[in-house]
A = this chain, B = another copy of it.
């Protein structure tokens, strides 16, 4: 196929390869060469008329546009719509699925459901990173062979935890991450390891969140234990004691509603918003129909499209929370001598993206069309079902770390340029936006959404394929990134404030 139409209401289609001036789209002769990824008008638009893509107004004709015209920055102007926010005016009812789907998960005592069964070593500060790695490294495949129901001993190590303010956004975000990993349903047991004098005190966390020591929740610090070697030895002993308990876990049939999927993209290309993201959006709608949860994130990447999400908010309060995040980000970037200017870069424009809205719509497409049921802080426990939003940077590891901390038990990651991302304890499914990259990086890509263009597969078909893989991976099927052993170095808590 030479072009793709994203919605019947659209006034443009997108060329999927370079079109020469003698080509046609939808029986309309094009009027100039159209580069791959660029838009062609499929109807006349007078100056001032809206230009629609994704069934949304992405801009307004800045001069008269004829059918077959190249539609881009030379004939489209963008008008800011920030001031006319609407709330809950675009609520599309979710039809419950005809059949209830199931997967085989680990149901924990508190009712949450895991898709993997790890023991975790969570560090409070970089100063305990080596200790945590050494403890985890002890548990080789050989040592773990006795415990076939345990997926591994994972160390969550990072670069922060001290040299930071002892309150405020950054401190609270780090505490939420730690709490989220401590309580994650993919963890059968947790050992927290600190140094002792760090700002991010483990004891403060226990107090703040009411965590209690138990057979499968232990804490220790290097200063108290008196040195690295003893800490590693004691840590190994503590994990050894947890292994038989963790090994008792068994997969059982759980409804699909127990899935919580992190919706993520990284290394986007011109096709992200056309293939993989809409397909993932459809998969998210299928999740919602099952009563499951999809968690969109990456606040800077939906900037400019937030007024569409507020219309989908189930209540004005949910919409207002989203606007609160947008305001926070404008302040955060300004304070850091930057700006939220997410306008298409020269590279984006060369790829065919005309306005900020078109760009953000491409990213937001991962969230499908269901009502927005909740808006969460970074790493905050996601408590509503359906389509939700979590504040986070766009930066993949930092964003996914927040989503997993919030309770996601699966991650779905779309990529155009290609990525070797993997995550623990929740596994990542990677979806390629184009078939060329999917072939080139076939050992990294789980699904080729480029087939929407290269083979004419529909967005809905591809979305169902993604959704069905959610059920299989949640039941234990190994993803490409898991097969390659990824996920040990991608834990990156979002570091918000000054490093001091």
Q: Which residues of A contact B (CB under 8 A)?
A: 126-131, 133-134, 157-160, 162-165, 168-169, 195-197, 222-223, 226-229, 231, 266-267, 300, 332-333, 335-338, 393-398, 417-422, 440-444, 484-490, 492, 494-500
Contact = CB atoms under 8 A, between A and B. Distances in A.
A127 B499 contact: no
A488 B421 contact: no
Given A159-B158, A228-B420, A494-B499, A223 B267 contact: yes
A346 to B, nearest CB: 12
A393 B163 contact: yes
A127 B420 contact: yes
6 contacts: A129-B490, A133-B488, A159-B492, A222-B420, A226-B440, A228-B444
Contacts of A164: 395
A164 B492 CA distance: 14
Number of copies of this protein chain within its complex: 2
A170 to B, nearest CB: 8
Contacts of A267: 195-197, 223
Given A126-B489, A133-B489, A419-B127, A497 B228 contact: no
A208 to B, nearest CB: 19
Nearest to A155: B489
A443 B130 contact: no
Contacts of A335: 335-337, 498
A441 B395 CA distance: 39
A223 B266 CA distance: 13
In the A-B complex, the 4 residue pairs with the smallest Cβ-Cβ separation, listed nearest first, are A163-B395, A336-B498, A129-B489, A228-B420
Contacts of A488: 130, 133
B497 A336 contact: yes
B422 A130 contact: yes
Contact of A417 (B168, B196, B421, B441): B196
Contact of A420 (B195, B332, B495): B195
Given A267-B195, A484-B229, A492-B159, A421 B497 contact: no
Contact of A394 (B128, B131, B163): B163
A203 to B, nearest CB: 15
Nearest to A331: B337
Contacts of A160: 159
